[in-house]
Each structure stands twice: as C-alpha cells, then as structure tokens.
Structure 1
Amino acid sequence: MRIAVLGAGGVGGYFGARLAAAGADVTLVARGRHLEAIRREGLLVRSALGDVRTAPDRVVGSVDELGPTDLVLVAVKLWDTEEVAKQLAPLVARGTAVLSLQNGVQKDTVLRRHLPERDIVGGACFIAAHIEEPGVVAHTGTLQKMAFGPYQADRRPLAEELLVACRAAGIEAEISDDIARVIWQKFVFLIGLSATTAAVRRPIGVIREDPRTRALLRDVMAETVAVARASGVALDEAFVDDRLAFVDTLPAAMTASMHHDLENGNRLELPWLSGGVADMAAELGIAAPRNQTIADVLAPYTLGTPRG
C-alpha cells in the first residue's frame, strides 16, 4: 500500500512515521520550515512508545509532487479542507482513496463536495501530539489509536490492508461498520478536551481535579451529545459519563492541539469545535450555552493572538 500523509504535524507526522518505521511505503506532505527540516534529517517522533525517524527523501512540498498513491491520510487543519479536497481530485480520479484524520464532524461533508463518496473512507484518531519544533513531533502519553471504515462496501479491502499496516506498526486500530457514529463519539471527547484546556490554559489534569472546571468539562460534552442525538446519531445520554470516566484515565499533562495553537499564537479550529457545536445547536433549536461561551471567550484568538 502506497500511503501519502497530507499534513505532517502532530497527528499526520506521528502516524505516518510509525507506519514508515514498520516498512510501509509512506510519503509525507509538509510545508515551510517543517518541510525544510524533514528534508535535511527526516521527521523525528519523540514518544514514550519509542522514538522513530523517517528518511529525509520521503517528504514532498505539495500534492502535485506525489507519485501513484493508494491512500491519502488527510491531517491538515480544518480550514484547509476545502482547498485540499480540490487538490486531491486529480489523484482520486486515478483511483486514490482519501481518509481524513482531522478533528470535527463536518470534514467528510466538505470532502464530498469535491470527491466521490466511494473514494472517501471515514476515520477518527485518538492521540495527543504536536510539532515541538520544525522536523520534530512530540507524542504525549501512550494513547495512539485509529478507527476507520469505508462508506461504501467496495472499499473494505483497502481498509483491511490499512488495518494490517497499522497493527504491524504497533498502532492500535480497528475497522468500524458505523464510522459516522465513531466520529461523533470522538468529537464529544475532543470538544471536552479542546474547550476546557484552551479556555483554562492548562492541561487536562488541572481541569478534572477542580470541581468547577470538571463540571464545565462535563457540560460541554453533554451539550455535544445532545447535538449528536438531535442530528439522528445513536448516542446514549449516558455517553457523557463514559467519556468523563475516560478522561480520568488520561495523563495529567495531556492537552488539545487547540490549546497548543492558542499558546503559540496560531490560528484556532474554534469555528469547527465549540463554535461548531454552538452553531449546530442553534440550527437544531437546542441550547449549548457552555460551548457558546467558550466560542465567545476565545473568539478574538480565532485567527491568532490579537494585536494590541
């Protein structure tokens, strides 16, 4: 299987490097100083599960430089999804499949505007990783899981081949027959992690230990479950307590990529995370006051740290 990873940041860089270290044919697509560093020395992933480094010649600067590819793992920020879908259209026309590991629940909807449904494989990942410096990705804790599943049955063999590659690389992975539900389940957790760590500006350990921020964490996830249920997704109301219990198993230092972006003055995925929950809730005629407040508080930082 020839795999391209579009977006070699925390998520894409980690999974791409793990797959490559196990012998998979992986090409990273990166840009800027990160691209330059990888071209010099390869991509280094630092992890409690063991460090790995890719070969310097396994990176390109654009989709146009990719050769024949069976699967593209999309791991760019959500605001780039529309443009990325357009760039991938020629590859997909030649038989390439696309699997998004991005945050949010709207990503595949955006891909479908430009790519055939048959060629989109649903996916979600569970990991805390970020670019520590150009050419280096840091993995926090040991959680590193992928779940994926085709929306159409004739792409099942490709999913099975990816599963074999993931397991050979030591990546926890599974094929889901209801990947849309899995994506929403991940979204509930992600909203809790991203909303609270960004708003409080501290890792999850601080948030879950304080009674008031723990209540905030539960509330933002409960609102997300309510939006899922109102959208027709089969999530039980008690799922929020399942996720809260899961949060209690995480490393205290774990945080969200949105928190890292906020701390570094970068653009935020806020409109697709808590902002997206608030917008979807409004369209459905239900309340999401906690997510709305998070979106309002962080609004000035959406495009990066404001001047002045």
Structure 2
Amino acid sequence: MKILVMGSGGVGGFYGGRLAHAGFDVTFVARGAHLEAMRERGLVIENEVQGDIRLPRVKVTDDPATVGPVDVVLIAVKLWDTETAARAVKASVGPNTAVLSLQNGVIKDDILRTELGDAAVIGGVGYVATRISRPGVILQTGALQRALIGEYDGRRTPRVEALLEALVRAGIQAEIVPDIRRTLWEKYTFLVGLSATTTTIRMPIGPIRSNLQTRAFLLEIMKETVAVGRALGVALPENYAEDRLRFADSVPADMTSSMHHDLERGSRLEVEWLSGGVVQLGVKSGVPTPTNRAVWDILVLHAQGRREH
C-alpha cells in the first residue's frame, strides 16, 4: 500500500510514522525545520508508556506533486489549509484512491469533496494525544491510538477493508463504522464544547464543569451542536449533549483543548471551523446558535494569531 501523508505534525506524523514502521510505503509532506530534521535524521515517535518508535530514514518532501498516484492520501493539516492541501495532492488521487482526513470538525470533508470529488473521500475520526515536541520528533501522551473509518454510503469497500488492515497492522485500534457521519458529529459535539469553553474561559475543564454557570455554558454549546446535526439529518439522540456532559465529568480535571493551547501560544485558532462551523451550518439548517456565535465573536480577533498582526 502506497500512502501520502499531507501534513506531518502531531496527527499526520504519528499515524504516518506508525504505518511506515509497519512496513508500508509512506511519503510525508512537511515543511520548515521539521522537514529538514526528517530528511537528516528520520522520524521519532516518543511514548513513555509504550516505548519509542525510531525511523532513521523516511521518505519526505515539501512538494506532493512529485509523489505520483497513491492508494491512500491522509490529510492532517490545520483546517485553514484544507483547500490548499486538497489542490496540492490532486496528482496523487487516482480512481481508487482513498482520501482520509483525520482533522477536526465536520466541514473538512465537504471541502475535500469540492476539490477532489465525492468518490475519493472516505470519513475518518482519529483519537490520539500527540504534538511535535521538536523538529523530527512526535510526542505521544498515553496509549490511546484509535481510528474510526468508513465510506459515507456505509459500504465495506475493498479500499476501506485494506486501510483497516493496514491500520491494525500498524498497531492502531481501528474499526469500520456503518455511519461515519454520525461518528464525526459525536466527536465534534464534545470537541466544540471543550474547545469553546476552555479557550474563552482560559481554564481547563475541571473548574468549568464544577461551576454551575460555566457548566450550563458548556451544555448549551453542545446542545446547539446536536440540534444542528439533527437538523442536517445526522442520527444523534436528542439528549446527546447531556450524555457528553456526563462524559466531561469523567475526564481528567486538567484536560484542555488544543485551541486553548494555540490561544496561549499566540497561534492561529480553528474557531471558524469549530464553534464557527456550528454557526455556519446552523444558518443553512435554520437552527439558532447564539452561544456558539458568541464564542466565535469573542475569539475572532485572536483567530489569526499574534504573529500575523
């Protein structure tokens, strides 16, 4: 299986590194110091729990157009780069290529379909805690490494079966799900709630869930997200937001979101595709989303990051 990883940060570097370690033909697309380190020293996935994975040599480029047709394109860039990334990998997408995004949100695959066609795109959700700790090195926290994949029409096609086999061989807890759209919205509901509250309040989930006012804020954000999904035909239970609030009570008190970290670093924020995505889809489906609108409005002046002002 030939795989192109478009975006070799925490997510792309981890899944691509695991697949390369399992013996698959993986080419990474990277840039800057990370690209140079991978060219010189390969890629390392550090994990205190499971032990490190060291790949002394990897195939890496800054130009995906040089790679040619592949079996799988893994999209793992930041959401604002999705359209550019899709155009960049067009030459690698053949009639049977599976384009799999493990990015956040639910709008990502709509962007990919616009650029690459409906047939190319399969749905995917990744669960892993990773980041670039230094150029050429991915740091994984904990042992969670899941991937849920599926065709949007629910069929178990040969390409999805082959991708499942590859992920399992790479040590990923992977499965094919019959309703990938619902699976995406299940993750999106909690992700929007977590990112919106921790970033606007600038605190981890523990104090947010413990205070009656901020707890209600978290619940309302997720209720709006569920209402929009249901209006768009996603098979979410009506009380799914309450279910996710109970889940929020079970996670570590110091848990926060990557968007909160991005705000503190002065980096760009994905708010336009998280709470902003709920707002935009709410407009299309006729569902009011005032709480998510407030989150987007509060964060919009930070969305481009300090370095770009």
TM-score, length-scaled by structure 2? 0.90
Deviations, residues 107-136 of structure 1 (Å, cap 9, x unaligned): 111111121222211111122322222222
| TM-superposed deviation, 1:191 | 0.5
Sort the Cα spacing of 1:155 and 1:61 in 2 relative to 1 into closer, same or farther, 3 A.
farther
Deviations, residues 144-176 of structure 1 (Å, cap 9, x unaligned): 211111235787111111111222222111101
Rounded to whole Å, the distance in 1 between the matches of 2:28 and 2:308 is 34
| TM-superposed deviation, 1:225 | 0.4
**Count of aligned positions:** 308
Rounded to whole Å, the distance in 2 between the matches of 1:203 and 1:265 is 18
Sort the Cα spacing of 1:205 and 1:132 in 2 relative to 1 into closer, same or farther, 3 A.
farther
- Aligned residue in 1 for 2:64: 63
- Aligned residue in 2 for 1:182: 183
Root-mean-square deviation over aligned CA pairs: 2.2
- Aligned residue in 2 for 1:17: 17
Rounded to whole Å, the distance in 1 between the matches of 2:144 and 2:208 is 19
Rounded to whole Å, the distance in 1 between the matches of 2:38 and 2:77 is 17
Q: Is the 8 A contact 2:100 2:124 kept in 1?
A: yes
Q: Is the 8 A contact 1:300 1:306 kept in 2?
A: no
Deviations, residues 230-258 of structure 1 (Å, cap 9, x unaligned): 11211112211222233334344433222
One-letter amino acid of the counterpart of residue 2, structure 2:
R
Rounded to whole Å, the distance in 1 between the matches of 2:214 and 2:273 is 22
- Aligned residue in 2 for 1:222: 223
Rounded to whole Å, the distance in 2 between the matches of 1:153 and 1:187 is 20
| TM-superposed deviation, 1:67 | 4.3
| TM-superposed deviation, 1:306 | 7.2
- Aligned residue in 2 for 1:292: 293
Pairs within 5 Å for 1:123-202: 123-151=124-152, 156-202=157-203
| TM-superposed deviation, 1:95 | 4.3
Rounded to whole Å, the distance in 2 between the matches of 1:246 and 1:217 is 12
Rounded to whole Å, the distance in 2 between the matches of 1:239 and 1:153 is 22
One-letter amino acid of the counterpart of residue 54, structure 2:
R
| TM-superposed deviation, 1:88 | 2.0
Rounded to whole Å, the distance in 2 between the matches of 1:18 and 1:95 is 23
| TM-superposed deviation, 1:301 | 0.8
| TM-superposed deviation, 1:289 | 2.2
One-letter amino acid of the counterpart of residue 168, structure 2:
R
Sort the Cα spacing of 1:8 and 1:251 in 2 relative to 1 into closer, same or farther, 3 A.
farther
Does the residue aligned with 1:93 lie in a helix, a strand or coil?
Answer: strand
Rounded to whole Å, the distance in 2 between the matches of 1:251 and 1:8 is 28
Q: Is the 8 A contact 1:129 1:257 kept in 2?
A: no
Pairs within 5 Å for 1:266-281: 266-281=267-282
| TM-superposed deviation, 1:259 | 2.0
Rounded to whole Å, the distance in 1 between the matches of 2:273 and 2:181 is 17
Pairing 1:50–2:51 present: yes
Pairing 1:32–2:32 present: yes
Rounded to whole Å, the distance in 2 between the matches of 1:305 and 1:282 is 30
- Structure 1 runs not aligned, ≥5 long: none
One-letter amino acid of the counterpart of residue 31, structure 1:
R
252-261 vs 273-282, greater mean Cα deviation: 252-261
- Structure 2 runs not aligned, ≥5 long: none
Does the residue aligned with 1:146 lie in a helix, a strand or coil?
Answer: strand
- Aligned residue in 2 for 1:102: 103
Pairs within 5 Å for 1:207-286: 207-286=208-287
TM-score, length-scaled by structure 1? 0.91
Percent same amino acid at aligned positions? 51
Q: Is the 8 A contact 2:124 2:180 kept in 1?
A: yes
Q: Is the 8 A contact 1:92 1:119 kept in 2?
A: yes
167-176 vs 134-143, greater mean Cα deviation: 134-143
Sort the Cα spacing of 1:155 and 1:270 in 2 relative to 1 into closer, same or farther, 3 A.
same
One-letter amino acid of the counterpart of residue 6, structure 1:
M
Sort the Cα spacing of 1:45 and 1:200 in 2 relative to 1 into closer, same or farther, 3 A.
farther
Rounded to whole Å, the distance in 1 between the matches of 2:240 and 2:287 is 18
